[in-house]
Amino acid sequence: MTQRVLRAFELAEDGRGRRAYVSWLEARVASDGGRVDEAAMKALRRGWYLGEPDFADKLRALVEGKQLGKVAGRDHAARAHDAVAAEELAKKALESLGLPQDAESLSDFRKGDRRKILVALLLRRASSVGNGWLAERLAMGHPSAVSRLVTSAQKQPKNQKELRKLAIMLKCST
């Protein structure tokens, strides 16, 4: 993992590169009185961090008690699986778009209903829930269908505009 970080920062993969990275981290902590900026907090809320697995415990306090779970892989990364917050946001978004709030009633609507796709886009950006959760919760079929629909929708400027309006209306960050 160390080599990947050093490469990402275009630093030498030796002691000199590690010292430069540590200096950069220390300077970042020293700036603004050690306060964690909003961009970093957003990344933490989504559950990503760089460090040893036990570092997650220290981050939990910063992210208001959100549970961090391991992600498969060798990078010791973690993602927040905050399905409770995602569920609350889903209910508000569905209601604001005139859709029923329960998955059973949502199954009466097309899997590719534009409003469902907007909700999936919103939840993908504002939470860490995966395509499986979205597919089940929004009655959108297979998780790969969610991925395909959301990817396609992201490319359309009209959807981006509606997504911003929806996020503002629901007072959530995307």
**Co-location of 110 and 164 in the same domain:** yes
**Are 131 and 74 members of one domain?**
no
Residues 88 and 166 placed together within one structural domain of the fold = yes
Closest CA to 147 of 162, 131, 158: 131
What is the per-residue pLDDT for 167?
A: 85
Global pTM value = 0.54
Domains of the chain: total: 3
13 and 65 within one domain = no
139 and 111 together in one domain: yes
Task: Specify whether 101 is located in the same domain as 134.
Answer: yes
Residues 77 and 88 in one domain: no
pLDDT in tens, 19-37: 888 887 777 777 766 666 6
Q: What's residue 76's pLDDT?
A: 30
Mean pLDDT, the chain, as a whole number? 78
Are the C-beta atoms of residues 67 and 80 closer than 8 Å to each other?
yes
Question: What DSSP state is assigned to residue 73?
Answer: S
74-103: average pLDDT: 75
Give DSSP secondary structure letters for 13-59. SSHHHHHHHHHHHHHHHHGGGGPPPHHHHHHHHTT---S-TTHHHHH
Range of the domain at 161: 83-170
Q: Please report where in the chains the tokens 């220290």 appear, as a residue.
A: 58
Q: Do 70 and 88 sit in the same domain of this protein?
A: no
